[in-house]
């Protein structure tokens, strides 16, 4: 197909999946430096996308809107006369939205029956989601030009916000700060509060500073975990930062420990080593991208199952704090940190 002059991308996915698409955006821009590339994103994550230099315009879409509001939202975008639209979400909502915007050609993923709204249906392959999104380049007859590393762009004021927060808490520059992110969209992705409490006690006992991260929806869970701890001194940042501020805080951490949720991928995008606890989700598709990341999982036959609910939750119950402590100490070893830095490379 001829190189498009105006592209609109629809991606209403959650934070981690959104970040997995960033290498595709970078490669698309490298291939098409003069093309107008715009994207519609979930309003909950607009703040963390708006500074992406590979996009010309970013539109914030509230997933709670009904059809009437979708039409109102789409009308001015339709007047842009895009010659190509890419749906990299696949839901009916995103398909209808792309159809309402009305680009000349529509390509992308689709749920059952959704292909009637597309000119070309793309079938996702069984590999890491970064590579799944990069396959859109092949559909467009464009080459993959780099290695698919994650990246994230935050303003300086987000880092200043975090410096002020940590100063108020008495965190010194030389302190080794470890981020613990206990939240998760699915209940089954969350490691136990008891596990996080015991792990935090072990880490503080080793002389590390511990900060619990997350959004306002995670504050009660963090309070519960800190209430179960035996040692004092854990910091609770959940609900105290903006989304960009969360990225800056995770950048400041030496290691971030989290389930398979958006913040672990934010940490990876900011260049921070992570320990990702995987239960029902498939680590081959969703593990943090790049060097310096460890996967912790239980060897049980039923995982990965992809279930949002579970009666016994063996895949999480069989993960022990001592195992994660050992991985933290391995990641923080001098030889390992030098290896991570040497493999980080450029984008």
Q: Could you report the per-residue pLDDT of 128-160, keeping only the tens digit for each?
A: 999 999 999 999 999 999 978 899 999 999 999
- Looking at the fold, whether 172 and 301 belong to one and the same domain comes out as yes
- Looking at the fold, whether 233 and 85 belong to one and the same domain comes out as no
Cis peptide bond N-terminal to 216, omega within 30: no
- Looking at the fold, whether 335 and 208 belong to one and the same domain comes out as yes
Total domains present in the chain: 2
Last residue of a domain, one of 139, 173, 195: 139
Among the listed residues 166, 152, 130, 158, the one whose alpha carbon sits nearest the alpha carbon of residue 54: 152
Per-residue pLDDT at 346: 39
- Looking at the fold, whether 307 and 180 belong to one and the same domain comes out as yes
**Sequence-ordered list of residues with C-beta below 8 angstroms from that of 73, at least 6 positions apart, any chain:** 59, 61, 65, 97
**Sequence-ordered list of residues with C-beta below 8 angstroms from that of 275, at least 6 positions apart, any chain:** 255, 256, 257, 258, 293, 294, 295, 296, 324, 327, 328, 331
- Looking at the fold, whether 133 and 178 belong to one and the same domain comes out as no
Per-residue pLDDT at 347: 35
207 located within any domain: yes
The values of phi and psi at residue 164, to 5°, are: -65, -40
The tens place of each residue's pLDDT in the chain, 347 residues long, gives: 688 999 999 999 999 999 999 999 999 999 999 999 999 999 999 999 999 999 999 999 999 999 999 999 999 999 999 999 999 988 889 999 999 999 999 999 887 777 889 999 888 888 999 999 999 999 999 999 997 889 999 999 999 999 999 999 999 999 999 999 998 888 899 999 999 999 999 999 999 999 999 999 999 999 999 999 999 999 999 999 999 999 999 999 999 999 999 999 999 999 999 999 999 999 999 999 988 899 999 999 999 988 888 888 899 999 999 999 999 999 998 556 565 554 444 33
Last residue of a domain, one of 139, 174, 209: 139
What gap in Å lies between CA 240 and CA 215, rounded to an integer? 8
The whole domain housing 317 covers: 156-344
**Sequence-ordered list of residues with C-beta below 8 angstroms from that of 98, at least 6 positions apart, any chain:** 8, 10, 85, 87, 106, 108, 117
- Looking at the fold, whether 76 and 217 belong to one and the same domain comes out as no
- Looking at the fold, whether 199 and 225 belong to one and the same domain comes out as yes
- Looking at the fold, whether 246 and 331 belong to one and the same domain comes out as yes
Per-residue pLDDT at 311: 84
- Looking at the fold, whether 321 and 182 belong to one and the same domain comes out as yes
Last residue of a domain, one of 139, 164, 190: 139
Q: How many C-beta atoms lie closer than 10 Å to residue 35's C-beta? A: 16
145 located within any domain: no
What gap in Å lies between CA 286 and CA 1, rounded to an integer? 31
268 located within any domain: yes
- Looking at the fold, whether 109 and 44 belong to one and the same domain comes out as yes
235 located within any domain: yes
- Looking at the fold, whether 243 and 185 belong to one and the same domain comes out as yes
What gap in Å lies between CA 237 and CA 235, rounded to an integer? 6
- Looking at the fold, whether 97 and 234 belong to one and the same domain comes out as no
CB-count exposure of residue 293 (10 Å: 0-12, 13-18, 19+): buried
**CATH number assigned to the domain comprising residue 316:** 3.40.50.2000
For the chain, the distance separating the N- and C-terminal CA atoms, rounded to the nearest angstrom, is 27
């Amino acid at each position: 197909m001829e190189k498009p002059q105006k592209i609109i991308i629809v991606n209403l996915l959650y934070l981690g999946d959104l970040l997995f698409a960033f290498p595709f955006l970078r490669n698309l821009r490298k291939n098409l430096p003069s093309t107008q590339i715009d994207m519609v994103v979930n309003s909950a994550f607009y703040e963390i996308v708006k500074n992406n230099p590979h996009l010309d315009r970013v539109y914030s879409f509230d997933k709670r809107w009904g059809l009437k509001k979708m039409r109102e939202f789409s009308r001015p975008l339709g007047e842009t006369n895009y010659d190509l639209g890419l749906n990299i979400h696949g839901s009916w909502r995103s398909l209808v939205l792309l159809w309402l915007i009305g680009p000349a050609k529509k390509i992308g993923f689709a749920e059952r029956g959704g292909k009637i709204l597309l000119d070309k249906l793309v079938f996702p392959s069984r590999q890491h989601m970064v590579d799944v999104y990069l396959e859109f380049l092949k559909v467009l007859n464009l080459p993959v030009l780099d290695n698919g590393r994650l990246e994230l762009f935050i303003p300086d004021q987000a880092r200043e916000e975090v410096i002020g927060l940590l100063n108020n808490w008495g965190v010194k520059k030389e302190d080794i700060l470890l981020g613990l992110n206990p939240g998760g969209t699915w209940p089954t992705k969350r490691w136990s509060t008891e596990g996080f409490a015991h792990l935090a006690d072990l880490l503080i006992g080793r002389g590390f500073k511990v900060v619990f991260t997350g959004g306002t929806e995670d504050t009660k869970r963090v309070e519960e975990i800190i209430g179960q701890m035996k040692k004092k001194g854990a910091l609770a940042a959940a609900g105290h930062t903006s989304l960009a501020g969360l990225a800056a805080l995770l950048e400041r951490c030496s290691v971030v420990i989290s389930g398979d949720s958006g913040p672990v991928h934010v940490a990876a995008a900011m260049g921070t080593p992570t320990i990702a606890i995987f239960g029902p989700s498939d680590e081959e598709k969703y593990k943090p991208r790049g060097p310096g990341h460890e996967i912790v999982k239980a060897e049980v036959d039923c995982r990965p199952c992809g279930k949002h609910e579970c009666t016994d939750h063996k895949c999480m119950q069989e993960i022990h704090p001592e195992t994660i402590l050992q991985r933290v100490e391995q990641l923080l070893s001098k030889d390992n940190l030098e290896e991570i830095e040497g493999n980080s490379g450029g984008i």
